[in-house]
Structure 1
Amino acid sequence: MDDATSPENVTDTFTYDSSGNPLTNTTKSSNATDPVIKSSSTYTSSGNYLKSETDPSGNTVNANYNETKGTLDSVTDSKSNTVFNSYDEMDKLTGINSIASSSSLEIFPLSGTTNGTKGTKPISDSAVYAKDENGKTVLSSNGGTKTLYDLGLSKNAGTMSAWTKSTGSSTTRYLFTSQGSNSELLCAYIDTSNKVNVAVRDTLGAWKTVVTSTAAINTTDWNFIALEWKVIAGGLQCTLYLNGARYVNTAASYKDFTGVQTSVGSYIDGNYAVNGLVEAK
């Protein structure tokens, strides 16, 4: 249908794309002084999925579909607030996260996708997934794979956190590694005693372990690990959280790691993997 007129002489006119999807809907009356009401829609290049909708007030909602799987990954409203959906490997919905536009928080569910809730994608991605004990798809990091991001890190302040189930190892295992080309470094790693550490490199390039947990991780269950940092009086204060316990120390000397790349689940080159599972619960 291209147009329709009501008994009150109000006309709706419709346009369509080559796939038959409605593009615009224009409503106007016979009275020239009445406002014209118009809404519109756009679609993916295949024509199979909605890409955006704009209402008569000019507010646009954008939809981000995975056209390969047919799943709706995210929806962003006109104020840039985003709702992000996560799925298991059977494409069943497993989680919904809402991120306000004013928030700097970005969640990486790692449940079948390495994309973040604000659209950040890895710059290098050879992720492998596995099922956890509940059948949920999670990141499996056991060496030979690498998930590398440009997160726009700043030395001034930031937080990274994840859940991990590491089965133990005779080598060091890295959960987060942020490293630059001139040895700039900020990392959280599990040592051979299964304790969690935070390390940097000082201004001379020497390795400095800033803080170490007194407790060890549970190698048969999930562990929550978070790293928070901020510059205070010129030093880098690092706060480590492990399963509710808090450890704090300050590095007086450190190389500025602003803008470096970050690897999740391994060292920056993909080696020294966490030897287990990683997810954002």
Structure 2
Amino acid sequence: MSVISWNCRGLGNPSAVLHLKYLIRRYKPDVMILYETLVNSNKTTDLRYELSFDSCLVVDREGRGGGVAVFWNNHVNCNITNYSSNHVDIEVADSGKGNWRLTGFYGYPEGSRRRDSWNLLRQLSQRSNLPWCVIGDFNDILSSDEKKGRADRANWLINGFREAVGDAGLFDLFMHGYQFTWFKSLGTNRAVEEKLDRALANDSWSQHFPNARLECLTATSSDHYPLWLVCEPIQPTSYAPRHFKFEMAWMEDPEFANFVRNRRIVFGNKEPKLSGTRMEI
């Protein structure tokens, strides 16, 4: 099973929909969780057909902000157990691993409501004893290393989130790829980047999925990058060596011979020799 989680910053943006279609085509997620949809439920429900998912749950935006949506395909057997404007709880019936719990989490973006986010995480941890994974935009960081640019985040904010994660019995899953998932004012002297999006899990979930892989993807229509979680990555059964292929068109480039000599490309234990229109090994 694979999950894509993304703060898309508005499904009314045509480029966001195009990026969603690309992510689905490229990574083929079984479940997609979106935050800050910024549109009403009818718009999001119609999008389900456009994105070719079997089912969806939509939590309407509040005023001009917010909005959460979950899309999934029926073969993964998902059951929505509860939800709010800041989370969606999903129980996954896995025939091989047994039932486990997936939560899409959207932390309050207002700085004055950080404690509300932490307490919500604590409350969610008390609702089930199933193996649990939480993925989403937490609007918090776990260490000062997860912020780059501008003033440092206050220690009490970092410590408060870290304590909430510990109280919920969770730990941070290692993330492959770029380590900052949110950005602002890139290319200016006011640029800032932070790791606001992540996946957390408890020990029993980690034991069920010891090879799970979390990766930070790219998308240009939002100031957040999507996350891709693969619970059980497919391991290659055998290694197929890649063979070198030479294009004769390279010989037409007047700089090609110098490039080869300067790079001192070695094939096996031999250095290539250029002779007329041939490369001798």
More helix by share: 2
Which structure: greater strand fraction?
Answer: 1
**Which has the greater radius of gyration?**
1
Normalising by structure 1, report the TM-score: 0.28
TM-score w.r.t. length of structure 2: 0.28
